Amino acid sequence: MTTVPFDRPALDLSGWDSGPLSGALSTSTSAATPSPSPGRTGDLEPGDVSPGLIGFLPVFLIALACIGLFLSLTSKLRKVNRKQAQIDAEEAAAASAATTAPGVVRDDDASDGADR
């Protein structure tokens, strides 16, 4: 990797001549004014450059679509949560019924240690 020393003098091009057009180019570029001029507004009104109805409608429609999607997602998540709560309640009821039923012997209670 090569490094460039920072203590070099700047390249001096003051004596450089680009040919017969050098004088013409320097005079035409120095007299030019910036386009458009910084402070000029001309005959434009503030309403002429605003997005207006054409800019508002797509943003509004996208917002409506997002609200609809959010509501749909919320309802589907609630349905899933209700279904899971129902499944959990059924499993808990089945587990409590199996442990509290008299005369019912579960598989893990049936072993009397004979296989040890």
- Residue-wise pLDDT for 2-59, tens only, equals 665 566 666 666 666 655 555 555 555 555 665 665 555 567 776 677 888 999 999 9
pTM of this structure:
0.43
- Residue-wise pLDDT for 67-115, tens only, equals 999 999 999 999 999 999 999 999 999 998 888 766 655 565 555 555 5
85: in domain? yes
19: its two tokens: 């040919």
116: in domain? no
35 exposure class (CB count in 10 Å sphere: 0-12, 13-18, 19+): exposed
82: in domain? yes
- Structural domain including 90 reads 62-96
31: in domain? no
69: in domain? yes
SS3 assignment, position 13: coil
The number of distinct structural domains making up the chain is 1
Q: Does residue 20 have a cis bond before it (omega within 30 degrees)?
A: no
